[in-house]
Structure 1
Amino acid sequence: MEMELSTRMRSRDWEEPNPPAGPRRQSGSPKRRTTEMPGLRSSRPNSLGLFSSAVCLATFFSLVACVPSAPGDLSLMDLDGQPRKPLDLSGVKVNVVIFITNDCPIANSYAPEIKSIMGEYSPRGAGFFLVHVDPDLGLEKAKKHAADFGYENAILRDPRHVLVSELEADVTPEAFVIGQSGILYRGRIDDLYADLGKKRRQARTRDLRDALDAVLSGEAVENPTTRAVGCYIPEL
């Protein structure tokens, strides 16, 4: 079963030799990582020292993000205008960060599975954050997207790609399981999409669920890195 996909869509392992000029690349992949399972990268030290250890970014007088001196302090605004810390594990065993865009067919098709995973694993100690990466997505459109797809959890906007850069995310949807030791899992939710334009009748693996089962049981994740297939996150 195949579906038409926009040119923004790609799989994480593809290489793009010469990205076109302009703020957004339409296809291809950034450089491959040198580590298979990187930990959280430390942010650059804050040299301003204004009132706190974080530097806050604002657009049109609206706070959008705070760049921390430590990864756990990184905060983004939710749809209610409240700062949230997706890398802070206070009160939870792990946090799950899933990057999305409102116009990505693959990301949107995963809404039922994402909500099912949240319902199953939130009571077991997992926190969840959906993170919009489109810098042009306004607050009202983000709220409409949440209503259209029935999302009721913490939804954040990352227009400056602060969290995207911290986790080195490539595509939407791409999931990250964050624990005390760093990134415990990164990659696809499952293998429903074999590649761009190639959708299986049903998923054969449950990668994100398997990772959460392992972590919440105190075990190592068998496959900590998988290939995510979806819409490319353009560079700013």
Structure 2
Amino acid sequence: LNDFVNLSFKNKAMALTSSTMMPLGTVAPPFQLLDVISERTYSLNDLKSDKATVIMFVCNHCPYVKHVQSELVKMAEDYIPEGVKFIAISSNDVENYPEDSPELMREEAKKWGYPFPYLYDETQIVAKAYDAACTPDFYIFDSGMKLIYRGQLDDSRPGNEKPLTGKDLRGALDDYLKGNPITEDQIPSQGCNIKWRD
């Protein structure tokens, strides 16, 4: 019975949640957050690119994030030389989810060799400004910091046996960098709900 209760609690705590899909064309809300890797505070202006900027809401413990970590690193390594900047943000409530603490965020970033900053949104103001709902949640902003893509990395999920390719996010980046129109038929990301404070 205890095992059943624990399983039910875990399933409830990690309820599958989809992106809220911020309207395309929205200008990226500004922020100033601590990068747990360098232990410096950066603003969006410090980190953005004059080509394209990818903002990702992630965390340490979510199985949906763990499933895509290798592709996030690979994608960043592929596109950073093209002038694209990547920014990862964790906004989870660390009091109830201590595995998402800044100290453990730093360890996770070092373990995976994150080639991008990993920012700690302690107040959760940034996640709310971006209307972020799940981990992982992805956004691409153009050279003017207007939203051109929000949605899934690809259709691979833990246990569904579909290959992890990053095809949706990569396709949007490729189209934008080549000057091609980006389809507005974008599929929401799915993952654990962001762990909001009470």
TM-score surpassing 0.5? yes
Distance 1:158 1:224 in 2: 30
1:10 maps onto 2:20 in alignment:
no
1:208 counterpart letter in structure 2 = L
Unaligned residue ranges in structure 1 (runs of 5+): 14-31, 42-70
Indicate how the Cα distance of structure 1 residues 147 and 165 shifts in structure 2: closer, same or farther if over 3 A, else same.
same
* Higher helix fraction (1 or 2): 2
Indicate how the Cα distance of structure 1 residues 205 and 142 shifts in structure 2: closer, same or farther if over 3 A, else same.
closer
- Give the match for residue 4 of structure 2: none
- 1:86–1:97 contact (8 Å) kept in structure 2: no
1:106 maps onto 2:64 in alignment:
yes
> SS of the residue aligned with 1:110?
helix
Deviation per CA, 1:3-43, whole angstroms, max 9, x where unpaired? x9843131317xxxxxxxxxxxxxxxxxx66x6525037xx
2:152 counterpart letter in structure 1 = R
1:78 maps onto 2:23 in alignment:
no
- Give the match for residue 92 of structure 1: 50
State how 1:153-192 maps to structure 2 within 5 Å.
153-179=116-142, 180=144, 182-192=146-156
Indicate how the Cα distance of structure 1 residues 91 and 230 shifts in structure 2: closer, same or farther if over 3 A, else same.
closer
- Give 1:203 shift: 4.8
- 2:155–2:162 contact (8 Å) kept in structure 1: no
- Give 1:192 shift: 0.6
- 1:40–1:167 contact (8 Å) kept in structure 2: no
Deviation per CA, 1:198-234, whole angstroms, max 9, x where unpaired? 5233258711001111111222211463211111113
Structure 1: 4+ residue segments shifted above 2 A: 4-7, 35-38, 85-92, 147-150
Larger radius of gyration: 1
TM-score normalised per structure 2: 0.79
State how 1:122-201 maps to structure 2 within 5 Å.
122-136=80-94, 137-179=100-142, 180=144, 182-193=146-157, 199-201=160-162
Indicate how the Cα distance of structure 1 residues 158 and 90 shifts in structure 2: closer, same or farther if over 3 A, else same.
closer
- 1:78–1:157 contact (8 Å) kept in structure 2: yes
Distance 2:116 2:171 in 1: 21
TM-score normalised per structure 1: 0.67
- 153-162 or 135-144: bigger deviation: 135-144
User: Number of aligned pairs?
Assistant: 181
Unaligned residue ranges in structure 2 (runs of 5+): 1-6, 95-99
**Structure of higher RCO (CA pairs closer than 8 Å, 6+ residues apart):** 2
